[in-house]
Amino acid sequence: MSSPQDWFTHDRFGLFIHWGVYSAAARHEWVMSREQIPVEEYDTYRRHFDPDLYDPREWAAAAKAAGMRYVVLTTKHHDGFCLWDSDLTDYSVANTPYGKDLIGPYVEAFREAGLKVGFYHSLIDWHHPDFPIDGVHPRRDDEDAAEQNAGRDIARYREYLHGQVRELLTRYGTIDYLFYDFSYPDREHRGLPGKGHEDWGSQELEALTRELQPDILINDRLDLPDSDLVTPEQYQPSAPMTRNGQPVRWEACQTLNGSWGYDRDNHDYKSTELLVKMLVDGVSKDGNLLLNVGPTARGNFDPRAVASLESIGEWMHLHERSVVGAGPAAYEAPADARYTQRGDRLYLHLFSWPMRHVHLSGLAGKIGYAQLLNDASEIRFTEVDPNQAAQNTTPGGQPAGTVTLTLPIQRPDVAVPVVELFLEG
């Protein structure tokens, strides 16, 4: 059964972009909360926000070269700053030295490059005067926090939230994906009445989103039971994900260095090898990877992010068909390896380089040909007849049904080597 949302599972790999005035602070997108910065003081980042190097075509080209097929950009993060000229607030890019809409050019550039286009939108808003001061709000430790809260009306904020989503979903043509972030089940443990999904009017917001964009995908962070996908954060699930016992579409979102927003002094970058492993591991469990870049306040990707995307792109250039359009396989991979399958091809991703031989159980009689994917060089193999009891015709006396690949001594010089197995019958 095909649906307009099938592109998502097929595409497998997307770019997350966290960008806002926090990029100027350059010390994590939660800086306003972490450092408990008052609205007036935080406003200095708006007054200095001038991304003169912003060129979304460059972003799109970098994403495309990395093998990414879709993109999700923060339209508004928890600090409340809007990257478009909203009619409902002055707290937007329209009131910065830059002064121009950032969302329209973004949508256009990525669409032009052939990528699906998504929006991230924060349910939480530390700038809006009606948003409650909860346990993570920058004003949480104010002595008069309770009095401040008494005057805050969540219904007014809800109206604002829905109004802004309406703007975003009516001004820019087709939007493929909405990543809401994030809901909590209740605020009671933070000493406040109210349930998260009631605060946002989650049901109405979901209905509005679907009314304005009928084919859109909506993530799970509205805290409703029937979202289109689930989004584990900086976490690789150990098996295909399920919801109420049924398989569910999923996407892991991951950072390059632990921070979503540009974090200048954080050098804890993941290696290309690790990032490619995350992508492959996800696909082997029927999941996607949404990998994040936090552009600088000048609007470009910093050199470390560029280097990461480029080297992932080198791998993708040679191995794309083992992940795009691929999914989990019906066979159990050997230790420290992952299988993916696409039609009659089975892909063996070797997370560590074996000692000459690798044994694949249950595949005897099923493989017509095998090659390294990076250079299409033949990999020769032996088999133990599945109908025979264990014998000693292969090195090590493998059980019936085993295929033993003989690998070169030299590990191919790629982030993760892949053997492509042609299935027969």
What residues between 29 and 68 interact with ligand GLC by CB under 6 A?
A: 29-30
Instruction: State the SS3 of 232-243.
Output: CECCCCCCCCEE
Q: Does 331 bind ligand GLC (CB under 6 A)?
A: no
Q: Does 181 bind ligand GLC (CB under 6 A)?
A: yes
Is 232 or 325 the residue whose CB approaches ligand GLC more closely? 232
What residues between 279 and 318 interact with ligand GLC by CB under 6 A?
A: none
Is 119 or 260 the residue whose CB approaches ligand GLC more closely? 260
Q: Does 217 bind ligand GLC (CB under 6 A)?
A: no
Query: Binding residue for ligand GLC (CB under 6 A) from 25, 253, 316, 323?
Result: 253
How many angstroms separate the CA atoms of 20 and 54, rounded? 12
Shortest reach from residue 121's CB to ligand GLC, in Å: 10
Q: Does 182 bind ligand GLC (CB under 6 A)?
A: yes
Shortest reach from residue 386's CB to ligand GLC, in Å: 45
**What are the distances in angstroms from CA 111 to CA 18, 70, 107, 131, 293?**
19, 9, 6, 34, 19
> Residue 375 has which token pair?
């250079």
Q: Does 237 bind ligand GLC (CB under 6 A)?
A: no
Shortest reach from residue 29's CB to ligand GLC, in Å: 5
Is 30 or 106 the residue whose CB approaches ligand GLC more closely? 30
How many angstroms separate the CA atoms of 346 and 363, rounded? 11
HSE value, Cβ hemisphere, 13 Å, CA-based, for 253? 23
Is 78 or 366 the residue whose CB approaches ligand GLC more closely? 78
Shortest reach from residue 313's CB to ligand GLC, in Å: 23
> Residue 1 has which token pair?
């059964």
Is 189 or 411 the residue whose CB approaches ligand GLC more closely? 189
The type of residue at 211 is E
For 179, phi then psi, to 5°, come to -105, 95
Asked if residue 279 lies in contact with residue 320, where contact means CB atoms within 8 angstroms, the answer is: no
Is 149 or 219 the residue whose CB approaches ligand GLC more closely? 219
How many angstroms separate the CA atoms of 138 and 78, rounded? 11
How many angstroms separate the CA atoms of 201 and 216, rounded? 19
User: Looking at the DSSP assignment, which residues form a beta bridge with residue 178?
Assistant: 119, 218
Is 30 or 381 the residue whose CB approaches ligand GLC more closely? 30
Count the neighbouring beta carbons within 10 Å of the beta carbon of residue 204. 11
Asked if residue 15 lies in contact with residue 71, where contact means CB atoms within 8 angstroms, the answer is: yes
Shortest reach from residue 337's CB to ligand GLC, in Å: 29
Query: Binding residue for ligand GLC (CB under 6 A) from 35, 188, 233, 385?
Result: 233
Q: Does 79 bind ligand GLC (CB under 6 A)?
A: no
Cα–chain center distance at 46: 27
Q: Does 260 bind ligand GLC (CB under 6 A)?
A: yes
- Contact residues: ligand GLC, CB under 6 A: 18, 29-30, 181-182, 233, 253, 260
